[in-house]
Structure 1
C-alpha cells in the first residue's frame, strides 16, 4: 500500500530497474483481433519452447528471479490488425507478422539463439519487396504519432508494475502535489483537447463547468460504449492500457472535485471488462484508488458498469439513465450533465480516448500536446481503418493529416488495384466523402463543413464496385434498428427514410420519392431529440450531395451503376463464351435457364429471380449482368 509520493517513487524506481535488467523482451499481442487469430496459443508455445530449451524467463516485471534476462509478456493492440498475430522483440523493436504457434521454435532458434531475424515472418514491401524488421520502419506506422495508443503494444496491460515502469501514475502524482484543481483544468484547457467521442467539445471547458457547479457530490464517467460498426479504438485502449484510462479519470476527478467514477463499457467487450476490473483491483491494492490517495487527502473510487450494447447509450444522458438502472433513453438538455447528471449531481462524461490523453498532457504540458494537429484541433486522433483498404487496422495520426495520407500512405491504397470511390467517416452518424476530398484536412471543422464528422473515429474505405445508395441504406438500417423510439423524428423519420432507400434499391421509386427522402433527412436532422438522432441522416445527405447521379440512375433508369442492387440487375449468357455444359441450368432454383447440351444456353428474364447462382457456378465467365 502506497501511503506517500515517496512510496510511489520508490516502487517506480524498482519497476524501472527491473525493466532495465531485461536483456530481451518478447511481447505477444493480446488485443481482441490477435487473440481471435490464436495469439494466446503463440504465447503458450513460447513458454513451452523456452522451458524446453532451458532458457530462463519471467512473466511479470517485478520478480525475485534476477537471473531471468528474458521477459515473456502479452501486450495490447499494435494496430496492424490485418497482420496478426503480432510478436515484438525489444529492445530492437523487431516485429513478426502472422505468427503461428508452429513458427515459435524457429523464432527461438534463429532470433534468440543465433541472434538473427526470421525474414519470412517480417514485413515485405508489396512493391519493392524490401524486408523491414523494425515496427517503426513499416510504412503503416511511419506517418503515425501515438499518444492515446503509445503504451498499447509496449506494456503488459495486466501488470501495474509495467505501467509504472513506463511512467504510469506520474501525472497523477504531479497533479495532486504540484497543481491545484484549477491548474489542472487550465492545463487541459490550454492544450486545446477536444472530446474524441464525436462532438469535439473542449474538454477543459466541460471540466470548468462541473468544477463551478454547486454540489458536494460529483461524478466522473468514462464512456466506453463504443457502438459504431467497425469501430474499435476505445476497446483497444481499454484492453491495451487500462491504467492510462484510470489515471485520466482520477485526474479529472481531482480537477472537478469528484470522489467517484464509473466506466461504462459494453458487455460485448469481455477482454476490456476483464482487464479494467483487474486494473481497478490492482490500483486499489496499491492505494491509487480509495481514501487519502498517496497521502494527498484526495479520495476516488471507480466502478465498472457493463452496458447491454444499445447504440443510443453512447449519448451521455442515455448513458446516465442506464447507470441509474433506467432504460437508456436521452433526455432534453439543458440542464447539461455538468450541472445535473448522474443522480442529479454535477457529472462530466468523457470517452476513453479523451481520458487517455489527459495523463500525457499533465506530464508533458499543453505546449507539447499542441505541437501536433492544427490550431483549432490540436493533438492526435485514432481511427479504425476498415473496408476495401489494403492495410486495415487501428491508426493514430495528427489532426490535420489528409485523407489521402491515411488511405494511401498508411493504408496502402485499395486492395486488388481497385479505384477509390469514397470513405465513410464517423460511423452511422458520419458522412461519405469522395475523391475530391482526399486532400481535406482531417479535423473537426473541415469535416463538418464537408457534411461529415470525425465521430468516434470509424473510417470505412469504399471502392469502385460499391453502390452508394446501398451504403446509405446499410447505415440507415443500423440507425433505425438502434433508435430508442423516444422522439417521433428519429423513430418514424428514420423508418420512412429506410423504406424510401429500400424502394430506390428495388427500382420502384419515383422522382418524388427522391425529393421526399431529402426532405425527411432534413426534418430528422433538425427535429430529433439527441445528437445521435440529429446526425442519423448524415450518410443519406452526404451521398445525395456527392453521389446524386447514382440515386438518379436508380430512379430514372432503374439501373444500379455499381451492379450491386440485385433487383435492378438482369443476368445474361455470353453466347460466345458459353460451352453448353449445363452447370448453370442444373443449379438454377427456378429453372430459368435452357439450352441443348454443348450449345449456348439462355436465361428467361421473366422467370429469373436474380439470385446470381448461375454466375457463381459458371466456370467459363459466360454469365454477366447488365
Structure 2
C-alpha cells in the first residue's frame, strides 16, 4: 500500500474497508453464504494452542473445499478468559468456548457444511440453569459491559491495519490535524472528563494542557505500558488486540501538546504485545500515518519502544522516565511535574495504555457521547481484570458507577463451589480489601477512595470465606517489599517492619500491641513515602484492620486462623475415619503419632512439626487440619 497523502484519501480507504467490518457487527444482516471464524489470539488463548486451532481450521476448510465460503482470522482477546480458547463465527454470531485443536474438524463439518451449531462447544449459563447459549450478547458476562477502550479487541485482526481502518482507524487523527487546532483538541479532552486509567485518575485534558503551555521546543509523549500488578492484564490485552488505537492516540496527543516523538515503555515480559506493536508501527509508517508529513501536513510524529526489566516501581511516572533515560528505576522528588520537566528534562505528557485507547473514540464520537457513560465525577468506562474466587474470570469493561455487587454476581457469575463472598481487592497490591457490607459501592474514583480502597490500574481480586485476610495482606506486603526501589526510608524499612509483624501474627506469636503498632506504622508509611508505591503499600493493612479486625484478634488472642490458612496456627487431627493402619506413625519425622494397629491413632500436637507428611500419606483421608 502506498502512502496516504491526504485526509480525503484516508476517508476513502476507511469507506473501502468499513463494509467488511460492518458485516461482522451487523451479523443479522450478513450474507450467511460467507462465514468468518474469529479465533482469540491473546496470550492466554495462544498458550492454550489457539494458533494451532487457526491452522487446523484453515486446513479443514481447505479439505472441505470451502475456501471461497469461509475465512479464519486471528483476533485479540474476547475477555472471557476462563472459557478460552474462543472461536466466534460471523455472521451467525455463534460463540464457541474452550475450543481445542481437535475440535476444528467438527466445527467445519457441522457448522460450515451442515449449517448446524456444535452444541457441546457452547457456553452453559449458570444463571439460566446451565442452559446452552449461542450468542455472547445473551451471556450475563457481557450483558452489563460497555466496550470503549476494548471496542476492537476480539473484533479485528490486530496485525492487519486495513481492519483497523475499517473501524474508522486514524480518522480521529486526521480530523485533529486537518480540522481542529491543538487548543480545540485539548478542550475536547477536558470536556470529556477522561481521567487517567493508570491509577491516579488525573484529568487527561488538564495534563495535556499543562504540557502544551510550555514554551515551544522538544517535547515527548510517553505511553506507560509497564503493567506490574499481579493478575492484571488490561493494558497487555489492548496492545495485543488493538495496538493501532494506542499509536493513533499518541499521535493525537503529540499534535495537541506540540511533540514529535513518542515512547512506549513496555515490560519485556510481554513478547506478544511487543511483536504486535512492532508490526503496527511498521504498518503505520509504511502508509504514512506515522513519520514525517502525516496526511500531507507539516505534522511529524514517530514512536519507538523502550523495554522495562519488570520492576513494579517503574509503573510510577518519574521512575519510568528514569528508566528510559538509562538510569536506575526509582522515583524523583516531585519538585516539578513531568509535564514541565520530564524525559531528558523536557516537557513530557505521560498516560497509560487504557487512557490512550479511549481517545480516538472520544474524538470521533464527541465528548458529550463519552460523558453518557459513567458518573459526573468519573465519566466513561473502566477495564478490570477480574480474578480470584469467581466463576467468570476475565477482562471486563463497565461504565463507571457500576457496583461491585453487579460485577461479582452478575458479570462474574458469583463465587464457585457454593462458597460465601468475603472480600474484593481493587487496585492490586496497592489497593484495599472491600468487605461484603460495601458490595453496593459504585466503582468510581471518589467512592472507592471513601471506603479505603482505590481504582488502581484495574486489578480486581475476589476472595471467599476460605481466604484468611491476614495471610492475604501478608501476600501483598511480600510483593511490595520485594518491589520497593529502596530510595526512601518509610517504604524501604517501614514496609519490611509491617511484613515482619504480619508474619509474626500468622505464626501465632502476635499480641494486641502488635495490632496497634501495625496501624500506626502503616499510617506513617502512607503519609511519608516518596512515591505512590510506598504511599499505597499500607492500604491492604489499613483496610483489612478496618474491615476484618476480629480476624486479626483471633490470630493474636485465640492463636487460631478462622479460615484455616495460616499453617503455624493449625493442628493436625486424626478423625474417626482412622483404620489404624499405622502408616502415619511410621512416616512421622517427629514421632508424635501413637496408637495400636487397627485402632484410632492420636497426634501429640505439642510435638507436631506440621509438615503434612501424615496427611499426604493417609489413604483413608482420616487426617484433617483445624
TM norm structure 2: 0.96
Q: For 1:560 and 1:594, how far apart are their aligned partners in 2?
A: 26
The CA deviation string for residues 198-254 of structure 1, in whole angstroms up to 9 with x for no partner, is 010100000010010124111110000000011000000000000011111111111
1:371 aligns with 2:372: yes
**Which residue does the alignment assign to 1:440?**
441
Q: Which moved more, 1:123-132 or 1:512-521?
A: 123-132
Cα distance between partner residues in 2 of 1:604 and 1:482: 41
Q: Secondary structure at the match of 2:300?
A: coil
Structure 1 residues 86-485: aligned runs within 5 Å: 86-126=86-126, 128-485=129-486
What secondary structure does 2:200 align onto? coil
Distance 1:38 1:222 in 2: 30
| Alpha carbons 1:580, 1:598 under 8 Å: kept | yes
Superposed CA deviations along residues 180-204 of structure 1, whole A, max 9, x for unmatched, are: 1111111111111000000101000
Deviates more, 1:608-617 or 1:447-456: 608-617
Separation in structure 2 between the aligned mates of residue 435 and residue 607 of structure 1, nearest angstrom: 39
The residue aligned with 1:54 is: 65
Offset at 1:69? 4.3
* Equivalent-residue separation in structure 2 for 1:463 and 1:515 (angstroms): 26
Which one of the candidate residues 45, 48, 56 is aligned to 1:37? Answer: 48
Residues 436-491 of structure 1, C-alpha deviations (whole Å, 9 max, x = no match): 01100010000001000010000000000111000000000000000000000100
Separation in 1 of the partners of 2:582 and 2:137?
A: 55
Per the TM alignment, residue 18 of structure 1 is displaced from its structure 2 partner at its CA by 5.3
Q: For residue 27 of structure 2, what is the aligned residue in structure 1?
A: none
Q: Deviations over 1:241-269 (max 9, x none)?
A: 00011111111111111100000110000
Deviations 1:389-443 (A, max 9, x none): 1110100001000000000001111110100000111001100000001100010
Deviation at 1:625, TM superposition (A): 2.8
- Residues of 2 paired with 1:439 and 1:617: CA distance? 45
Q: Contact (CA 8 Å) 2:82, 2:393: kept in 1 or not? A: yes
Instruction: Confirm or deny that 1:3 pairs with 2:14.
Output: no
- Offset from partner CA, 1:67-109 (integer Å, 9 cap, x none): x442211111011001011001112221100001111111001
Aligned-partner SS, 2:187: helix
The 1:299–1:595 alpha-carbon spacing in structure 2 relative to 1, beyond 3 Å, is: same
Aligned residues: 614
Distance in 2 (CA, whole Å) between partners of 1:345 and 1:44 is 48
CA contact (8 A) 2:73 2:157 kept: yes
- TM-superposition CA deviations, 1:475-528 (whole Å, max 9, x none): 000000000000001000011111111011111112222211111101110110
Q: For 2:583 and 2:144, how far apart are their aligned partners in 1?
A: 51
**Unaligned runs of at least 5 residues, structure 2:** 24-29
Aligned partners of 1:612, 1:131: CA distance in 2, in Å? 42
Deviation at 1:11, TM superposition (A): 2.2
SS in structure 2 at match of 1:395 = strand
Most deviating of 614-623 and 328-337: 614-623
Counterpart-to-counterpart distance in 1, 2:36 and 2:394: 24
Deviations along 1:292-324, whole A, 9 cap, x unmatched? 100121110001111000000000000000001
Question: After the TM superposition, which parts of structure 1 deviate over 6 Å for at least 4 consecutive aligned residues?
Answer: none
Deviates more, 1:465-474 or 1:512-521: 512-521
Match in the other structure for 1:79 = 79
State the match for 2:615 in structure 1: 615
Q: Which residue of 2 aligns with 1:12?
A: 14
Q: Aligned in 2, Cα 1:587/1:138: closer, same or farther, shift over 3 Å?
A: farther
Against the structure 1 CA distance between its residues 518 and 95, is the aligned structure 2 distance closer, same or farther, given a 3 Å change threshold?
same
Q: Is the 8 A contact 1:42 1:101 kept in 2?
A: yes
Contact 2:124/2:131 (<8 A) preserved: yes
In the alignment, the residues of structure 2 paired with residue 440 and residue 376 of structure 1 have an alpha-carbon distance, to the nearest angstrom, of 14
Q: 1:63 matched to which residue of 2?
A: none
Deviates more, 1:509-518 or 1:446-455: 509-518
Give the equivalent residue in structure 1 for 2:497: 496
CA–CA distance in structure 2, aligned partners of residues 477 and 361 of structure 1: 40
2:216–2:258 CA contact under 8 A, matched in 1 = no
**Structure 1: 5+ residue runs without aligned partners?**
57-67
| 3-state SS of paired residue (1:222) | strand
In the alignment, is the contact (CA less than 8 A) between 1:566 and 1:611 conserved in 2?
no
Deviates further, 507-516 or 469-478: 507-516
Is 121-130 or 29-38 further displaced after alignment? 121-130
How far apart are the structure 1 equivalents of 2:613 and 2:75? 45
Does the 8 Å contact 2:140/2:410 carry over to 1? yes
Distance 1:577 1:25 in 2: 58
Distance between the aligned counterparts of 2:283 and 2:16, measured in 1? 17
In 2, Cα distance between equivalents of 1:582 and 1:85: 47
* Range that drifts further, 316-325 or 134-143: 134-143
Q: Which moved more, 1:117-126 or 1:6-15?
A: 6-15
Deviations 1:147-179 (A, max 9, x none): 101100000010000111111111111111111
Q: Deviations over 1:263-297 (max 9, x none)?
A: 01100000000000110010000100011100121
Q: TM-score, normalised by structure 1?
A: 0.96
Q: Given the superposition, is the C-alpha separation of residues 69 and 292 from structure 1 closer, same or farther in structure 2, using an over 3 Å criterion? A: farther
Root mean square deviation, CA, Å:
1.3
* SS in structure 2 at match of 1:357: helix
> Equivalents in 2 of 1:161, 1:151: separation in Å?
13
Matches within 5 A, 1:517-528: 517-528=518-529
Which residue pairs with 1:584 in the alignment? 584
In the alignment, the residues of structure 1 paired with residue 513 and residue 145 of structure 2 have an alpha-carbon distance, to the nearest angstrom, of 47
Q: Structure 2 vs 1, CA of residues 465 and 17 (structure 1 numbering), >3 Å: closer, same or farther? A: closer
Q: Is the 8 A contact 2:61 2:70 kept in 1?
A: no
How much has 1:14 moved relative to structure 2? 2.7
